[in-house]
Amino acid sequence: MTKYKLKKIHIIRGHENRIRNKEFMMLRIGDFSENELSYHYFQIPSDAVIDVYFQMEDKLSILRVMFGMQEKQFYVQLFTYDHTTHRYEEEIIDEQMKSSPIFSKLLQNIHIYGSNHFSFIATKNMKNREN
């Protein structure tokens, strides 16, 4: 299996939210940079926007996962190193990558826990619940 490493996590919040929000959640992120899966835990504000970067084993690809806690928005971007320009360029995430085991494993190992916890990632085994 291809390995990926947690490279960076960035929490984005507005100034007003820093003062009045006292509610926090726990973020657990899986890191497959060694021969086994290890987890990193972060305490995050419930109204934050989380920006996470993973570097793939070949160091030529970076996967960016960004999600807003209040808005429940989720974005995934892929950047690949271009040797001619010597910088990372955004690349389209194709169906082959979306269905790859490494992509699924990486996204399935992002968990949010708290009083108002939820998941951005649903597996095929989960059934749709009607309210």
**Domain-embedded: residue 122:** no
Instruction: Return the amino acid letter for 5.
Output: K
pLDDT per residue as tens digits for the range 53-105 = 998 877 789 999 998 877 778 889 999 999 999 999 999 988 888 888 878 88
Mean pLDDT over 107-116 rounds to 79
| Number of domains comprising the chain | 1
User: What is the Cα–Cα distance from 71 to 37, expressed in whole angstroms?
Assistant: 29
**Domain-embedded: residue 27:** yes
**Domain-embedded: residue 56:** yes
**Domain-embedded: residue 105:** yes
Note whether 37 and 1 are within 8 A (CB): no
User: What is the Cα–Cα distance from 75 to 110, expressed in whole angstroms?
Assistant: 13
Please name the helix (run of DSSP H) or strand (run of DSSP E) that holds residue 12, with its range, or none. Answer: strand 4-12
Give the domain extent around 35. Answer: 4-113
pLDDT per residue as tens digits for the range 34-44 = 677 888 898 88
Predicted pLDDT of residue 87: 93
Predicted pLDDT of residue 121: 59
Sheet with 110-113: list strands edge to edge: 38-45, 24-31, 110-113
126 pLDDT band, cuts 50/70/90, is: very low
Residue 131 confidence (pLDDT) above 50: no
